[in-house]
Structure 1
């Protein structure tokens, strides 16, 4: 997962303050390519997901390892992680693209031609993204040994249209590679696992599970963009820039780690809440209580804030909250464009940090205040703050940030903290492997207790918010009348296909 507190000095002032009773939110800055390839025999390819809880009828038809088309040079065999990679939670992040068979090719052609082409072009781009074919050695390094990417093909016994009529989170997870699960350590494992799910209609569900030790959301998108360009035969070449460890070198003596409270130890509940353009217009018509800017709220600010408000209110129904009990919002911020000079768009690695802000759900909450506090916390992730994180001089900054984040989590009951991430305006729906763009792009949770992930809707300018809470909180959250006046719960992605 992708988060870090900024401006730890403000956090320290809050922690020392006795003014917990205030009703406003308080900001806290805080050989070619096939290896071990085989087609499974009939007994082996039994329905991997046949139990009643998974709801997906599929069979694995092959498991392979895709290696770079040319070996990684010896002088590149050791890849240093940045300090942001170093303390990033060691989990796998699942991602899904659903692509229809717009050319009406036969299923046999999809299996024999498209899938083969995907493997060939993936092998080609791995020569540029060579660390992804390696093995995480520890929190400081990747051994670029060309072990490759684990690649699975599966046949799904239904059409893509049928699947997308009611695609709940559990159902989509049934299309992921069987191992690792999201909370498995990447050390000693493949950095990326991919499963190509071929539906009866020839549509494809392309699902990846990537190690967060080196791959953040933007990095994953760059990889997919490069893969799609290669599959299309496009002259456009994406050359990854590995500047992270140079700018933010790792630290063997890092004193603190991320708080464990943000990671799930119990069952979670995930649902989708879709805001159409009309609802967004109503939300964005509200003022933002921010001294730094008078502009209207963005889609991210508007949707995140109403979800945060409803999540905080749900928490008060299942746990005791007093006027001094905080509920935290961590908004993930990409550093690439905020640094001075900006980092290359093709920068690879975890180049994100979290902007933190607090509300007190035991008191009255209003959207203008919540939107304003989120905006102000994000604004403090500026070039000056990023500069303080650079080089070896930034090691102490990171230690203080991590120390403050642990202190803050100690103040929250059961880690009452909502982590917000966004792929709005990322271009994910523009990816085209040569047979059409995806009709649904889905961001799955990778084990964060409370999380909201934002993405576009395919058409109409809407926002899809994938929200994860504990089951008892979700039961209350999904019935919140204010939230439901703007959002629709779990609509079919097909409603956005024209």
Structure 2
């Protein structure tokens, strides 16, 4: 199986070398019930990849791969749902049958630095196992029964210089972005034989099946492109000052806006402008803005940050006219809804609120979400601490995302924010040349 990448006059070869199944080192067979939040999350795969330069620790890539397999097997004892299987449609539990995680090994004949410098975001797709990036209706792996999906898969990619890219694809049904990053960090510390390990906090959910639709529907990547934009802290400080001045001028001042708040506002404004221009600029592109809020640390009774599963809430509000695009509207509404979440006692209360909703209410919320641009922040998450014993990664990013999704991540030296943005092709052409966006890059 071979993918070919043509860049700057030479043909780079990315070749699948081997496939293996890695099982937990000790039996873990049990059932893991999905929470209400898990069931209402889309059946898509979160793709995260970390890049590492070559090191002299190993004599060969084979030694490195063998150690990664052994440490993954040990890690799966703690993250046992990751080695299980779940139905592809409307699952309510993970069958933790220890069937294991598919481990794909690949090689690329280019140096890592060349690959990172010359690649478009779509070129990252080949680094992930079985095309499991975001929405993927059919699993390509040969080891799973029809109608049954793996919970996670791994691919280790070796570059000509000795560099390596470690990629995971995690089913969103069993975890969110923080879960995926916690897993990678745990696996890395086991591989590096580092201590202390922070074990996952596994909650045992009661069996719940509401037959609600998925709140976050699977969006297509067809006709879309993903691009990465870097915003240094100095420019973000300028943007924060501008937003503060604009809100003071509006009579609704917002003091001390965060980097994520102001950047999300700017990106949304530019995205809606691009979509409006595509419609000949005659009609404002009425849509919505959605933030995902990690619930682990904002409830009255905080959950450990290592809690496994989906623990996020969608903060949604419309941007149906030009006024609602102003920062005093968007940022103040975000803060208002987040404050409401902070007043909730615990996850049991949140679950009861959702479980008591009518089917029609859930459908209405789902429709609002589907029509919105989605903004998710992984800033200040444990991203650049993923050290397998080879040093910290030079880059951590996501595979090409899905339509109208933007993910914010810290830069390697924490000196800014990387925005990974997916838009329709025509919108992206306008978006990436927006003068206001360029002013803060």
TM-score band (shorter)?
0.7 to 0.9
1:273 paired residue number: 229
Structure 1, residues 79-102: CA drift from partner, whole Å, max 9, x if none? 10000000110011111100112x
187-196 vs 200-209, greater mean Cα deviation: 187-196
2:410 paired residue number: 456
Give the CA deviation at 1:242: 1.9
Among 365, 377, 391, the residue aligned to 1:422: 377
Give the CA deviation at 1:370: 3.1
Q: TM-score, normalised by structure 2?
A: 0.88
Among 141, 152, 168, the residue aligned to 1:192: 152
> Do 1:335 and 1:351's aligned partners in 2 also have CA atoms closer than 8 Å?
yes
Give the CA deviation at 1:192: 1.1
1:217 paired residue number: 177
Q: 1:405 & 1:59 partners in 2: Cα distance?
A: 43
Structure 1, residues 140-171: CA drift from partner, whole Å, max 9, x if none? 11100001111011111011111111232111
Q: 1:338 & 1:401 partners in 2: Cα distance?
A: 25
Q: 1:401 & 1:346 partners in 2: Cα distance?
A: 31
Q: 2:208 & 2:321 partners in 1: Cα distance?
A: 38
Gaps of 5+ in 1: 1-45, 410-414, 488-498
Q: 1:112 & 1:266 partners in 2: Cα distance?
A: 37
> Considering only aligned residues, what root-mean-square deviation do their CA atoms show, in Å?
2.8
> Do 1:286 and 1:368's aligned partners in 2 also have CA atoms closer than 8 Å?
no
2:96 paired residue number: 144
Distance 1:388 1:111, change over 3 A: closer
Structure 1, residues 356-395: CA drift from partner, whole Å, max 9, x if none? 1222355584344433333333333223286674455641
> Do 1:336 and 1:343's aligned partners in 2 also have CA atoms closer than 8 Å?
yes
Structure 1, residues 169-221: CA drift from partner, whole Å, max 9, x if none? 11111211134453224761221111111111111111111111102111011
> Do 2:133 and 2:400's aligned partners in 1 also have CA atoms closer than 8 Å?
no
Among 51, 54, 67, the residue aligned to 1:98: 51
Among 154, 158, 165, the residue aligned to 2:110: 158
Do residues 50 (structure 1) and 10 (structure 2) align?
A: no
Residue 242 of structure 2 aligns to a residue whose secondary structure is: coil
Q: 1:181 & 1:217 partners in 2: Cα distance?
A: 13
Give the CA deviation at 1:281: 1.3
Give the CA deviation at 1:59: 1.5
Distance 1:259 1:126, change over 3 A: closer
1:435 paired residue number: 390
Among 236, 253, 265, the residue aligned to 2:196: 236
Residue 341 of structure 1 aligns to a residue whose secondary structure is: coil
2:66 paired residue number: 116
Among 135, 143, 146, the residue aligned to 1:183: 135
Give the CA deviation at 1:234: 1.7
Q: 2:338 & 2:434 partners in 1: Cα distance?
A: 27
> Do 1:85 and 1:139's aligned partners in 2 also have CA atoms closer than 8 Å?
no
Do residues 89 (structure 1) and 42 (structure 2) align?
A: yes
Distance 1:364 1:339, change over 3 A: closer
Distance 1:184 1:312, change over 3 A: same
Distance 1:167 1:89, change over 3 A: same
Give the CA deviation at 1:401: 5.5
> Do 1:158 and 1:200's aligned partners in 2 also have CA atoms closer than 8 Å?
yes
Q: TM-score, normalised by structure 1?
A: 0.78
Residue 105 of structure 2 aligns to a residue whose secondary structure is: strand
Distance 1:485 1:126, change over 3 A: same
Do residues 478 (structure 1) and 435 (structure 2) align?
A: no
Q: 1:57 & 1:112 partners in 2: Cα distance?
A: 19
Gaps of 5+ in 2: 140-146
Distance 1:388 1:191, change over 3 A: closer
